[in-house]
DNA sequence: TTTTATTGCGTATCTTGTACACATTAATTT
DNA sequence: AAATTAATGTGTACAAGATACGCAATAAAA
């Protein structure tokens, strides 16, 4: 279901979508040791938001989250995880007190509509390779682009909390689930995999112990030595043993990093 | 906000409450080695439900959950944890196909109202001492009572999944957070505490190793030896060091059980 | 007094996490 | 071509933690 006319959506959207309830996606992108997050901006406003949307009356909330992610990134079949539902009373209010917001054309159009209501938002997170995604703004936004997680712009609503909670959840999930299948190329080196973990955890790890843990998990398949990047010993190339990878995903044992 | 008239609520409730969104509470009760869950039943129907309710337009979702729990149990200031939001399309549907449901007086009254709509439900869990709670049915229910977790009655909607998810979440949280402050009397013995853990985890633990872990956490204060229950050596009485207990709650290290 | 079941406290062992040493490799430098 | 350099691959030592289990102390019952 595509929103083709913003004003029609503002006026009649409640026919197709559930009011008072939205979904916001913390879409984290990784590439070459850099962790970014996808944010959208309203026209004529400074603040940025997580990409969000509404739930069709005929789709599940998981489906809605998948659809929103696909609309913003063009990517389908991404691992998307519900992590928290945000329902504080003041999650939108602080912004209504800002005068520059009241003059905003889009906000004036929304005022009084079904969108101008107290809204509970279900948070989802995804972890993708940002080089494979092409950010597309939705009809409400002037821009949609990646931001380095370490240098975020001013955020609207309770989205700082949403981002923090998403990152905390990912780091906790990392202790239980392997990461990398959707983020690294088909073939990769162990240092590349380690770099991913170090970026997500925001700290350095010991090479040798990291290798040991991955070998214990048994999710790596080593190929013939190849890639010669730098001016030193060339590392082996690996792929994920996808069957084993998925076994470990459903496993309950946790690792320490 | 109390619902005094069921039919007024069915007709005008949407003025005060958010439609399409509900809260269901998995209220787990423990006492003397028995784990129970609080369930409510519709009049003239076999199926049982988790106690639930709607969110006032002027309260946070956490507040709504607290209020619902207090209405059902009379208990305030209980540790209540949001654990998952359920939004499958078919979470209510399977029941609509049952003929005995269509003849139900309450269901017939609801048909066509704002309550007869696709609903997303936010799940919360609580862990309390069931001997301190007095179950009270709400206006929709004929009965509200404790059920042994091992012998549940037939459940409506997706509530079997909700209960399973709640139990899985509690068992996972047990690895990180201590349990017992709201469940045991002011003074208790270590075997009593261990029994609580064994009941929640549904398996036996080694006495000596359990004691060691509790001592490591440092949340126990030993009193003068007293309680003489059985016909053998009488165990020491302990209390929680509440300050330390709360420190450990916010800590991130996890224990293995 | 003896028996029995339970509690309290300890130790041995195995597993796991962590720190770090050293050999291997490949491009660069001399 | 040999030496240098910086990275990768593998192994080992130590510490911390988890687990298994032994044995004395106690209190009520036999």
For A67-117, how does the pLDDT look when each residue is reduced to its tens digit (9 = 90+)? 999 999 999 999 999 999 999 998 986 667 778 788 888 888 898 999 999
Looking from the CA of B21 toward its CB, the CA atoms found within 13 Å total 27
Gyration radius of chain A over CA positions: 20
Residues near B207 by beta carbon (within 8 Å), at least 6 away in sequence: B191, B194
Distance CA B254, CA A130 (A): 32
Predicted pLDDT at B1: 43
- Distance in Å, alpha carbon of B62 to nearest chain A alpha carbon: 7
Predicted pLDDT at A1: 43
pLDDT at A204 over 80: yes
Interface touch A82/B85, C-beta < 8 Å: yes
Residue B176's pLDDT band, with cuts at 50, 70 and 90, is confident
Residues near B96 by beta carbon (within 8 Å), at least 6 away in sequence: B102
Range of lowest pLDDT (A18-22, A158-162, B91-95, B163-167): B91-95
Distance CA B39, CA B34 (A): 16
Task: Give SS3 for B247.
Answer: helix
B147 near B95, Cβ under 8 Å?
A: no
Which residue ranges have CB below 7 A from strand C? A 206, 208-209, 212-213, 216, 225, 228, 230-234, 255-257; B 189-191, 207-209, 211-212, 225, 230, 232-236
pLDDT at A3 over 60: no
Q: Is the CB of B256 under 7 A from strand D?
A: yes
Predicted pLDDT at A94: 66
Partner residue opposite A61 with nearest CB, options B60, B82, B87: B87
Q: If you average pLDDT over residues B206-219, what whole number do you get? A: 94
Tokens of B24: 């269901």
- Percent pLDDT > 90 in chain B is 71
Tens digit of each residue's pLDDT (9 = 90 or more) over A25-72:
999 999 999 999 999 998 888 889 999 999 999 999 999 999 999 999
Q: Any idea which nucleotide's C1' is nearest the CA of A207?
A: D8
DSSP label of B172: H
Predicted pLDDT at A4: 58
Report the residue of chain A nearest B255, measured CA to CA. Answer: A254
Report the candidate in B104, B85, B117 with the shortest Cα–Cα distance to residue B14: B117
Q: What is the pTM of this model?
A: 0.94
Region label for B191, one of left (φ > 0), alpha (ψ between -120 and 50) or beta (otherwise) = alpha
- Percent pLDDT > 70 in chain A is 97
Residue A5's pLDDT band, with cuts at 50, 70 and 90, is confident
Alpha helices in chain A (DSSP H): 6-16, 61-73, 93-96, 99-102, 105-110, 159-173, 190-201, 207-217, 242-250
């Amino acid at each position: 279901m595509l929103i083709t006319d913003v004003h029609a959506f503002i006026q009649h959207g409640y026919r197709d979508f559930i009011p008072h309830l939205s979904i916001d996606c913390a879409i984290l992108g990784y590439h070459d040791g850099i962790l970014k997050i996808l944010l959208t901006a309203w026209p004529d406003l400074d603040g940025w938001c997580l990409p969000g949307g509404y739930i069709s009356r005929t789709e599940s909330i998981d489906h809605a989250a998948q659809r929103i992610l696909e609309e913003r990134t063009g990517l389908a079949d991404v691992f998307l995880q519900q992590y928290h539902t945000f329902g504080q009373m003041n999650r939108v209010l602080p912004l209504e007190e800002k005068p520059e917001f009241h003059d905003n054309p889009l906000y004036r159009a929304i005022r009084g509509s079904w969108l101008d209501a107290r809204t509970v938002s279900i948070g989802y997170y995804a972890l993708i390779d940002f080089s494979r995604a092409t950010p597309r703004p939705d009809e409400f936004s002037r821009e949609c682009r990646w931001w380095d997680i370490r240098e975020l712009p001013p955020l609207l609503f309770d989205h700082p909390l949403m981002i923090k909670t998403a990152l905390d959840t990912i780091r906790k999930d990392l202790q239980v689930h392997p990461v990398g299948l959707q983020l690294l190329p088909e073939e990769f080196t162990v240092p590349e995999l380690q770099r991913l973990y170090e970026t997500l955890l925001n700290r350095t790890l010991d090479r040798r112990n990291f290798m040991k843990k991955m070998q214990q998990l048994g999710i790596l398949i080593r190929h013939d030595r190849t890639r010669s990047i730098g001016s030193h010993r060339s590392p082996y190339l690996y792929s994920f043993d996808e069957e084993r990878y998925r076994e470990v995903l459903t496993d309950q044992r946790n690792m320490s990093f």
